Each structure stands twice: as structure tokens, then as C-alpha cells.
Structure 1
Amino acid sequence: MNKPLQNSATWSDTLESRKAHLNTLLKTINAGAGKISHIQTLTINAIKAEMANIERQLNGRK
């Protein structure tokens, strides 16, 4: 017999955590002063796209 997890996070909580983590990464990448490289631009765009995807998932759950 399997016992249910006592401290399991909901899917919404997990998405909120991922969003907060990505937001912190975005701030870290943007913190560097000076010229932004092509790789940084691609990384920033990928993080923003993932954050938008998470936002859509969260809005769909409401």
C-alpha cells in the first residue's frame, strides 16, 4: 500500500516556482553592464518564451 506524499506541491505551485526561478535568471543575465552578446540575446528570448508558456498554463488553470 502506498502512502500519499505529505508535502506534495500542486502543479500551480510548481509552475510559480519555475517562473520565479526563470525571472531570477533573467535578472542575472541582464545585470551585466555593457554590450549583450548574441548568445545572451538568444538565452533571454528563450527564457521569456518559457515564462510566457508558464503564464499561459497558469491562466488556463484559473
Structure 2
Amino acid sequence: MNKQPQNSASWSDTLKIRKAHLNALLKTIDARPGKTSQIQTLTINAIKAEMAHIESQLNRRK
């Protein structure tokens, strides 16, 4: 296995940063009801699923 450098962020911190990044992406996507394309809808659903997965990983680490 590869060792992480000592000054690297913890796995929980990495997950929190990833979740914040995904949140920012959701805000970037202009998702008005009735005005979203199919690709936007799929993208939003994929981001939300990834965020739910990250949240479950964070809850497991508590």
C-alpha cells in the first residue's frame, strides 16, 4: 500500500472538501423548474447521489 505524506489532509477532510466542491457545482448549474435539459437533470442527480455517498462515508467515520 502507498503511504500518505504526513502533511496530507485526513480522509474525512478530503471528503468534506469534495462535498463542498460538489455543492458549488450544484449552485453553478442553473436549475429552474421547467427550464432544465435532460443532461442538466442527469448531472444534478449524479451530483446529489455522489453527495449522499460522501455523507454516508462521513457518518460511518464518526
Q: TM-score normalized by structure 1?
A: 0.84
User: Alpha-carbon deviation of 1:6?
Assistant: 4.0
User: Alpha-carbon deviation of 1:30?
Assistant: 2.9
Alignment partner, residue 52 of structure 2: 52
Q: Which runs of 5+ in 2 are unaligned?
A: none
CA distance in 2, matches of 1:36, 1:13: 33
**RMSD between aligned residues:** 2.1
CA distance in 2, matches of 1:10, 1:26: 25
Matched-pair identity in %: 78
Any idea what the Cα deviations from partners look like across 1:11-31, whole Å, max 9, x if unmatched?
Answer: 000000000000000000036
Q: Which runs of 5+ in 1 are unaligned?
A: none
Structure 1 SS opposite 2:7: coil
Where has structure 1 moved over 3 Å in runs of 4 or more? none
Bigger RCO (CA 8 Å, 6+ sep): 1
CA distance in 2, matches of 1:53, 1:45: 12
**Structure number with larger C-alpha Rg:** 1
